[in-house]
Amino acid sequence: MTLLDSDVWSKRLFGDGWKDATGEQPVVEPATGDRLGTVGLATVEEVGRAAARAAEAQRAWAVTSPQERAAVLRRAGELFTEHAAEIEDWLVREAGSVRAKAGFEVGLARGECFECAALPTCPQGEVLTSEEPRWSFARRRPAGVVSVIAPFNFPLILGLRSVAPALALGNAVLLKPDPRTAVSGGVVIARVFEEAGLPPGVLHLLPGDGSVGEAVVEAPEVRVVSFTGSTPVGRAIGERAGRLLKRAHLELGGNNALVVLPGADVGKAASAGAFGSYLHQGQICMTTGRHIVHESLLEEYTAALAAKARALPVGDPAREDVALGPIIDRRQLERVHRIVTESVAAGATLAAGGEIVGAGYRATVLTGLTTDMPAWREEIFGPVAPVIGFSSPEEAARIVNDCEYGLSVGILGDVGTAMRLADRIDSGKVHINEQTVSDEPNAPFGGVKASGTGSRFGGAAANVEAFTETQWLTVRPDIAEYPF
C-alpha cells in the first residue's frame, strides 16, 4: 500500500483513525479540471467532538517522554524522505506546483520534522533569582490544543510548520487545510504522523468551509490558533481570538519589494527578480510584488526581466516541462488578469505577458506605473512583476515602506549600501543579494504591519514561544510562615 492510497482517506476524516465524514468534496486538478479523488469535509459538530477528544488525548501525550515524542518527529522526517516522489506528485497535480517547487516543499517538510525532533529536549524554562528562601523557576508547558489553519499555495509546509512544533512540544492539533488542497496539505500530514506512531486522538484532520474555520477557532478546548492566509481573514481570526482571550499567530499577506541598487549586475538581478516573481506562479506570500530599480539601470533591467518572462513556458506541470503551472482556480486567474488590465488602462505599459493561457497566466512585466495603480498597491498572488524607478537610497526606503505590508525585502548590489538601506526598512525579513522568497526550518519567519503578528514560526525560540505557556513555579524546603 502506498502512503496516500485513497482507500484509506477517501471521504473520511482523521482523528482516532480514519472515519467516514458527514460531507465530501471532489479533489480537482487545477490544470485540467480532472477529478483526482474525494476528501471528507468536517461539520461544526465534528469539530466540537474532535476538540473534546484532542483535549483528552493531549493530557497523555504531554506526559510522554521527550525521547518518545522526538522519535515520532524523526520518523515523520524519514517518511517524507521515503515517500517524497508520491507526495511531490500530489503537490504537482492538486496544487499546480512545478516539479522543482514540489521537491523544494517536500524537502522543507522533511527538514521541519528533523528540526522539531530537537524541541522535546531543548531547554524549557529559566531558573530565577528570588528574595525569598526558595527556588524559583519559569517553566514552559504545552499550551494544550492548537488549531492550525493553512492555505493552498504551499499547503504541505505551511500546515506542517505549525503542526510539527506543536506536536513536538506536547500539544494536540486540529488541522484545517484549504479544501482545494486537502490531500497535499492535510491527508499527507495525517498519514505521515499516523505511520510515524503518533497516538490516536492527538492530531485531527478537519477540512471544511468558513464555518469549520470559525469552529476550530471558537472551540473552548483550543488555546492557540496558528493561521496562514490572507490579511482580511487573518484580521477576522485575530479579532475573534482576542474576544475569546486566545493567542493567535497570524502570518498574512505581503507585497514584497526587491531593490536593485546602482552598479548591480543586471543579468543576475533580472534572474533573481524573475525567480522571486514567477516561482509557483507568484502564489507565495513572499513573492516579489514590487521591483524598485535605480534609474541608471531601469531600462536595462526591465528589458532583461521581460526577456526572462517571455522565455518561461506556461502549462500543465504534470504532463509538460514548464516553468509556470496553473493558477489555483478560475476566480483567482480572473482576479490576476483584472489587476493587470486595470493597471494598463490607468497608464501602465505591458512589457511582457498579460495573457491567460488555459488555466495559467503568462509571466508578466509592467512598467510606467504610479504607486496608486492596482498592480503596485495590491497583493496580486499571480506571476506579475511591476517595475518602478528610484533616484536615491532615501527614495528607495520611502517606496519600500509606503506599503501596508511588511513581510520580505530583497536588496541587490553593493553590500554597504544595502546594509544601510536595510536599517531603514520595516520588514520581518531582509535578504541582501537574494530575492524575497526564502525559508529554512531553523530561521524565524513572520512579518510586520498587515503581514501579521511577527516571527512565530521557525527556530526553537519562536516555536517554544508560540506553542507553550509560561508557568511560575516556586519550591520551599518547608511550609512558609504567614501572619494570619
Q: 291: which strand partners?
A: 258, 387
Cβ atoms of residues 440 and 111 within 8 Å? yes
C-alpha atoms less than 13 angstroms from C-alpha of 342 in its C-beta half-sphere? 14
Question: Catalytic pick from 251, 394, 404, 434?
Answer: 251
- What's at 273, amino acid-wise? G
Neighbours of 58 (CB within 10 A): 24
Question: Catalytic pick from 285, 379, 403, 434?
Answer: 285
Nearest of 417, 425, 428, 420 to residue 456 by alpha carbon: 428
Angle at 343 between CA 337 and CA 344, to 5 degrees: 90
- What's at 478, amino acid-wise? D
Neighbours of 433 (CB within 10 A): 17
Q: Is 221 in the active site?
A: no
Q: Is 251 in the active site?
A: yes
CA separation (Å) from 472 to 50, 130, 138, 139, 417?
A: 31, 12, 5, 6, 46
Neighbours of 101 (CB within 10 A): 23
C-alpha grid cell, residue 125: 524554562
Catalytic site residues?
A: 251, 285
